[in-house]
């Protein structure tokens, strides 16, 4: 029982790091997309319906998930 309470501060630190990372990436995303340009992989769906543009980046999400898993595995 004591072991669960001992892990709580460590998990809270990781949660704070995760939220801060998502926040920083959200702030930098417009600048990064201008620098890198629109890169679309096969499997990313983009279409326009009633004047609105919709994007479903399935292939990009899978690729970034694999890269993140590899980095996590290496650490």
On whether residue 32 sits in a domain, the answer given is no
Mean pLDDT of the chain: 77
On whether residue 22 sits in a domain, the answer given is no
On whether residue 3 sits in a domain, the answer given is no
On whether residue 5 sits in a domain, the answer given is no
Give the model's pLDDT for residue 70.
87
Give how many domains the chain has, as a whole number.
Answer: 1
On whether residue 14 sits in a domain, the answer given is no
On whether residue 34 sits in a domain, the answer given is no
On whether residue 25 sits in a domain, the answer given is no
Give me the residues of the chain with pLDDT under 70, please.
Answer: 1-8, 32-34, 36-39
Give the model's pLDDT for residue 10.
72
Alpha helices in 1-75 (DSSP H): 2-36, 58-74
Domain that holds residue 66: 39-75
Give the model's pLDDT for residue 24.
83
User: What does pTM read for this prediction?
Assistant: 0.46
**What is residue 30's three-state secondary structure?**
helix
Give the model's pLDDT for residue 3.
59
On whether residue 52 sits in a domain, the answer given is yes
Take residue 1 and report the two structure tokens written for it.
Answer: 């029982």
């Amino acid at each position: 029982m004591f072991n669960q309470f001992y892990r709580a501060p460590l998990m809270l630190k990781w949660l704070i790091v995760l939220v801060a990372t998502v926040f920083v990436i959200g702030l930098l995303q417009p600048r990064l997309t201008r620098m890198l340009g629109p890169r679309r992989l096969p499997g990313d769906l983009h279409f326009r319906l009633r004047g609105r543009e919709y994007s479903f980046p399935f292939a990009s999400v899978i690729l970034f998930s694999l890269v993140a898993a590899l980095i996590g595995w290496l650490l």
